[in-house]
Structure 1
């Protein structure tokens, strides 16, 4: 995981996975080894993938105060800064949860850089409760050293499951995330990026912001998600011109760790459709509906 200086004060860590074709960039606080989006570098997609650890976290530069432009806009700009340093003019961006929020801000601030946006459980939140902070994140910030506080929040995020094997795996996940939160520095622990597009204070204003996004968008959502409601995913689906949306009833907010192959298959199909290498649309139309 090399480090790259984006200015005189900030350096970001990133992982690079070789591939061919249009590169895929992603940014988040951290990434699971072997998970999504890393697997997009494997066949059949086999794209070059760059996973960027967002400023403020881990081995990237930490900040003592919130950035002037806000976390999501700053993180979005950082993705472009890393791309500039790597000589990448245009790229596919995919992000999970707050990483998806980074992607939506990229779509607004830097649409010329995006070949496509793939948002995973990252549709901009409902405006209920305001936009200045994330309630779940605020609870974890306040009680990050209490394993039960962290567990309760992640149980909400994950949503209910009827699968005993998944439930057992979540027990390990809850212990791991509690340990990770307890180990965070004070600078990391205080980060609360809030909801995407905080200037939109009503759901209709948010829909208007989304309607102005003009890049190819794939929205991957989970109907058991405890933070991104089905309404939020559907709002994005009907607001973003030309977007495609896939929703899983049996998945929650942890889908990127629990079912990464599902996400990768949909990403591969979406990009094949954009590239023109998927089966043509007319090929799937019944003879009865052809003129």
Structure 2
């Protein structure tokens, strides 16, 4: 991964896909797997140009001292826009998962003119239950990592992933392998990285009604991809998002939790492609049929 210099930092990034791709996708997070979503958006049939940006404070990006006064999500959102400036990218599609989606919500509010579209994956702003500085799960993961409490880390990740049916035997084995790798990744982060608490988007909203009022200010084509079994971002928060953001769209996956980017990337990519085709006016309309499968005549 090369480094991109912005005004006061260097951001570690990677790029995928052709330079003449039909869409430019930016995504920012603590780290990326290198495969799955969003990297596979660069592969056919989408074939987009994709930049994955490691957030300030992690990996080879500029390390952080004190938390930024404006908050981590705001700082990272401004870094994404600065990255686009440095790369000569005027407008782009931003996508992110979980905290990465939180970054996108701030771009949508602070710099909507830079976004062609925003795709939030398991990342609508959290429900408000009196605590708005961070989720309970994130606080517990920070505590457990600093204490070397592997069991608690795994328990929190298990909760995020969502429950499985007893007959999902193969999926259970795949989930266990994923969790083992996720715990190992968490443990390899140094203490400076481990202490970073990104918080919730829009902590100034103390109630769900106040949060909805902020979401109603978003004027960017927005797609929300949500897991009904998500242990941190509730289906209700995604429903609030699609009810508040004008002309937005939401797709709910009953069988999924918080790890959709790694567990079902191909299904997410299919939805992103359809959404962007709809925005571009290139989506193929489905033929209209009646219930008995005969063609419906127009009047």
TM-score tier (shorter): over 0.9
- Name 1:194's counterpart in structure 2: 199
* Larger displacement relative to structure 2 (165-174 or 206-215): 165-174
- The whole-number CA distance in structure 1 between the counterparts of 2:264 and 2:183 is 21
Work out the CA distance in 2 between the residues paired with 1:215 and 1:273.
14
Residue in 1 that maps onto 2:46: 45
Unaligned runs of 5+ in 1: none
Q: Give TM-score, length-normalised by structure 1.
A: 0.96
Q: Tell me the residue number matched to 1:135.
A: 136
Q: Distance in 1 between matches of 2:289 and 2:245?
A: 25
Deviations 1:234-283 (A, max 9, x none): 000111100011000000001111000010000000001111110248x5
| Residues 180-219 of structure 1: pairs in structure 2 closer than 5 A | 180-219=185-224
Q: State yes or no: 1:226 paired with 2:231.
A: yes
After superposition, the Cα gap between the structure-2 partners of 1:284 and 1:52, relative to the gap in structure 1 and judged at 3 Å, is farther
- Tell me the equivalent position of 2:11: 12
Q: Return structure 1 stretches of 4+ with deviation > 2 angstroms.
A: 283-291
1:147 aligns to 2:165 (yes or no): no
- Deviation by residue 1:18-48 (Cα, 9 ceiling, x = unmatched): 2302200000011112110001101111010
Q: Is the 8 A contact 1:134 1:193 kept in 2?
A: no
Q: Secondary structure at the match of 1:126?
A: coil
Aligned ranges for residues 93-132 of structure 1 at < 5 Å? 93-132=94-133
Q: Which residue of 2 aligns with 1:176?
A: 181
Which residue, out of 228, 234, 251, partners 2:256?
A: 251
Partner of 1:242: 247
Classify the secondary structure of the residue corresponding to 1:143: helix
- Write the distance in 1 (CA, Å) between the matches of 2:297 and 2:70: 51
Going from structure 1 to structure 2, the CA distance change for 1:123 and 1:290 (only over 3 Å counts) comes to farther
Q: Is the 8 A contact 1:134 1:192 kept in 2?
A: no
Partner Cα distance (1:62, 1:278) in 2: 43
* Distance in 1 of aligned mates of 2:10 and 2:289: 51
Aligned length: 289
2:178 alignment partner, SS class:
helix
Question: Where in structure 2 are there 5+ consecutive unaligned residues?
Answer: none
